[in-house]
Chain A
C-alpha cells in the first residue's frame, strides 16, 4: 500500500490540479442567482402583461359603454342593431354553473377524501387514488361532449322539458371533473394531520367519526379550504364544457334546465366569430375577461383570508 502511494499524486495535489478547471464553474455559480431570478420573473412579467392588456383594452370598451350599464345591465345583445352590453347574464351563468359544480364536487370530493384518509385500508387507497387522478387527466372537451350527448339525455328522464343545451348538465359534469381535485388535495391535508392527534381523540372515547369531524378536519381545514377554492376557480374558469353543453342563450334567468352562457363561453363565442378589431363587441371581450379575472382574484384573496382565520396550527 505504502509503495503504491509513493507513485501516485496525493488527493490534495489532484484537487489542486482541478482548480483551474473549476474556475468556469465558480463564475457560473456566481451568476446562478441572477439567471434564476430572470427565469422566475417570467411568470410575474407575463401576469403583469396580461393585466395591462386587459385594462388597456377594457378602457376602450368603457369609452363606448358606461361602466355602470355594463355591471348592472341584465340585457346582453352584442349583435343587435342597438347592441346592449350588460354582463349580468354572463355573471349569472358563471355563478350558477359554479354553484352546481360545487354542490356535486364538494360533498362527493370531501367524502371521498374522508374515506381515503381515515377509513380505507392501504391497498384500497393505493388503487383508488391513482384512479381519481386519471379522472383529473381527462381532457375537458371529452367531458363537454359527455355532458352534451350522455348527461343531458339522462336528465331528460327527470326533467322532460330540459333544453338540448342547458346549464345543469355541464354544471354536474364540471363537478365530476373537480371531484378528484378536492378529494386528492383534501386527502393530502387530512393525511398530514399527525396520528398522535387521532390517538388523543380516540383515547378520550371518541368514535372514529367524531375524531374525523372534530379533530382531523378542523386540523386540516386550511388545506381543505384551499382545495375547495381551487375547485371553484377551476369551475369559474372552465370553458370547453359549458361552451359545448350549455349553448349561448344570453337571457338573464335562473332556470337551470335552460341554456345559459358563462363569461368564458361568451369569450369563446365572440372570439370565434367575426368580431372585427376595434368594434365595441371586440372590446367587450376584454371587459368580460377583466371581470372574470377580478372575480377569480377576489376568490383567491377570500380563500387566503378564510384559511388564515380558521387555521389550526400544529
Chain B
C-alpha cells in the first residue's frame, strides 16, 4: 500500500510539473452535455447536468454511492438504455451531434466510445479472440490485419509481453488485473476516441490498480478518458478535471487541483475530507 501512495504522490508531482511547464493549449471538446435530466421510472437520477469533456484529458467523476456518477457515464454511450424504464431529456453533443436523439445509431457511438467496466468482463474465448472480437464484428476479416491489431492493442495496454505466448489460452485463466487490462486492450482494438471507465480498479489489488493508473496516464495522450471512481486519491492522482456529483447533481466541476486543494462548495470539501460518503 505504501508503495502505491509514494508512487501516487510522485505521479501527482510529475503531473503538476508538466502542467506548469506546458502552455495552455485549447483542447477540443468531445462531449458537451447541456441540461441533461434522467429518470429511472419515477426516480429523478440526474438533474440538469451541464458538463463538457475534452480530448486528451482524464476527467474523473466522484461522489457517494447512488449519486448518479455511473448513470451519467453510461449515458455517454447510452448503455443506460439497457434499463428499459429510463427516460432522458436535454442533450449530449458528441462531435456536433446529439447522441440522445433516437435517430442516432447507438452502435456507431459505442464503436467510437469504448467502455471498461467495474468487474473485468472478458468473453469466455481465447485472449486473441477477445481482442479480435471488436474488429471482426466491424467487418475486418483479414487474419494478418487482425494479428497486427491484436498485438498493437495488447501493447497499448502494456500486457503484450505477459500474454504474447498464450494468445490461445482462455481469458478466464488470467488474473483479475490482467483481465481488466485485457478488457482495456479489447477496447483499444476498435480505436475509439473516448474511453469510459466505470470504477475500473475497485475489484483489483493495489499493485494491479497502480498498473491501470499508469496505463490511464499513457492512454490520455491519445484518448479522452472519463473515469468514475469512489477512490478520491485515485481521482487526485490521475485526473485533470474532477466533477463532484451529489444526489444526481453536479456540485462542482473544475480542475482536479482546484477541487482537491481549494473547493468552492462546502459539500465538496466535506466529501473530499471524508466527512461523509
Q: Given contacts A199-B82, A202-B79, are A313 and B110 in contact (CB under 8 A)?
A: no
Closest to B125 in A: A312
| B-contact bits for A246-280, CB 8 A (1 contact / 0 none) | 00000000000000000000000000000000000
Decide if B274 is an interface residue (CB 8 Å cutoff): no
Partner of A196, one of B121, B134, B136, B187: B121
Partner of B172, one of A196, A204, A215, A313: A313
Decide if B225 is an interface residue (CB 8 Å cutoff): no
Complexed CA–CA distance, A100 and B186 (Å): 42
Complexed CA–CA distance, A197 and B114 (Å): 14
What's the count of A-B pairs with C-beta under 8 Å? 72
Partner of B123, one of A121, A205, A210, A215: A215
Q: Given contacts A199-B79, A199-B82, A314-B172, are A204 and B124 in contact (CB under 8 A)?
A: no
Partner of A199, one of B121, B122, B124, B190: B121
Q: Given contacts A207-B107, A215-B123, are A200 and B137 in contact (CB under 8 A)?
A: no
| B-contact bits for A218-260, CB 8 A (1 contact / 0 none) | 1100000000000000000000000000000000000000000
Residues from chain A with Cβ under 8 Å of B111 in the complex: 204-205
Partner of B137, one of A121, A214, A312, A313: A214
Decide if A37 is an interface residue (CB 8 Å cutoff): no
The answer to whether A204 and B117 have CB atoms under 8 Å apart is no
Q: Given contacts A196-B119, A197-B124, A201-B123, are A206 and B137 in contact (CB under 8 A)?
A: yes
Partner of A204, one of B108, B119, B125, B186: B186
Complexed CA–CA distance, A121 and B122 (Å): 26
- Name A's interface SS: helix
Partner of A312, one of B108, B119, B124, B186: B124
* Interfacial residues of chain B within 104-157, with CB under 8 A of chain A in the complex: 107-112, 114-115, 117, 119, 121-125, 133-134, 136-138
The answer to whether A196 and B117 have CB atoms under 8 Å apart is yes
Partner of A210, one of B124, B137, B170: B137
Partner of B121, one of A200, A205, A207, A214: A200
Complexed CA–CA distance, A314 and B126 (Å): 12
Residues from chain B with Cβ under 8 Å of A199 in the complex: 79, 82, 115, 117, 121
| Closest beta carbon of chain A to B181's beta carbon, Å | 14
| A-contact bits for B166-180, CB 8 A (1 contact / 0 none) | 000010100000000
The answer to whether B170 and A205 have CB atoms under 8 Å apart is no
Decide if B84 is an interface residue (CB 8 Å cutoff): yes
Residues from chain B with Cβ under 8 Å of A202 in the complex: 79, 82, 110
The answer to whether A204 and B82 have CB atoms under 8 Å apart is no
Partner of A205, one of B84, B107, B125: B107
The answer to whether B110 and A204 have CB atoms under 8 Å apart is yes
Contacts from B to A (Cβ < 8 Å): 77, 79, 82, 84, 107-112, 114-115, 117, 119, 121-125, 133-134, 136-138, 170, 172, 183, 186-187, 190
The 8 closest A-B pairs by CB, nearest first: A205-B111, A312-B124, A196-B121, A203-B115, A314-B124, A205-B110, A200-B121, A204-B134
